Amino acid sequence: MKVEFTAAQIAALLGGKVEGDQEAKVWNVARIEDGAPGMLSFLSNPKYIHYLYETKSTIVLVNEDFEPTETVKTTMIRVKNAYESFAQLLAIYQEYTSNKVGISENAFISSDAEYGDNCYIGEFAYIGERVRIGQNVKIYPQCYIGDDVVIGDNTVIYAGVKLYAMTHIGKGCIIHSGAVLGADGFGFVPQPDGTYKKIPQIGNVLVGNNVEIGANTTIDRSTMDSTKIHDGVKLDNLIQIAHNVEVGENTAMAAQVGVSGSTHIGKNCILAGQVGVSGHLTIADRTIIGPQAGLTKGVGQPGKSIIGSPAYDYVKFMKDVVRQRNIDKLENKVAELEKKLEELLSK
């Protein structure tokens, strides 16, 4: 769907001021260096100023204090912060173009399920028994919503998501394609004959408000009680959250993080890509964990930065890296000193 906006309309949305053609129209966005007619771009980084004078984009957002040094051929819109305004405009555009409403006749909805106004339920979605769906929820095609699931207002669940029974999703969440919430935790008891006996997983998954969960991420149900993802958490693609884990408010995790069972992660933490966390640990608020780190023990001090495998203090780790890079020089120096010592002893 092609949606056009004029410079005047965009300026009104952003509280900006047009310099150029008020009726200039755009229908898509592009980087300023890749601009083309009909595109909207933005300029916030001084390194890209030279592109403004040659870009083919129809409209460019600039900071209100920007002073050009050459003639600008494109229409500019001056705003307080070009980067933030561009993000705001993208959010408005996405909301406008993805505002699907209606229930597909090819969806299956149990007779005792309930859903609010302005919902969208796509083709071949399955809505189980006693499901409660709030207002303005979007459930895309081929989703599975198990029995007794609760979904809060304004949540978007993209195609192919699987929500096992009793999963609770808060308001304003986004769950991307292929995510699985509520599968059994990895609980088995070794037997004398070398086999494993499964421990029933009878808990559920609780997801707070304004949480985003990336594609193909999995969050297991707890053995008992709940696996908890608190408000504002942001999970990238391909993340594994094991049973009984608790993730604090506004914590963010990059792709391929793995968190083992019964670990508690605090608020406002950052876990970089491919971090591995052992089970039954407690990680303090505002902890930053560098890429590919392996945690084998908890972090008790808030605001600490760690990296490495096993993970330890970031500053010490970087000093150790420098020492490791100089180890050949140190070895040569030791060999030289040993040779001189032998010469002295021989005399």
Provide the annotated active-site residues. Answer: 243
Euclidean distance between CA atoms 2 and 224, whole angstroms: 49
For residue 304, with 0-12 CB atoms within 10 Å meaning exposed, 13-18 middle and 19 or more buried, which class applies?
middle
Residue type, 102: G
CA 232 vs CA 69, 147, 219, 269: distances in Å: 42, 25, 16, 12
Pairing of strands 17-19, 75-79: antiparallel
Q: How far is CA 233 from CA 13, 36, 70, 141, 170, in A?
A: 28, 36, 44, 25, 12
Asked if 259 and 240 touch (Cβ cutoff 8 Å), the reply is yes
Question: What is the residue type of 169?
Answer: I
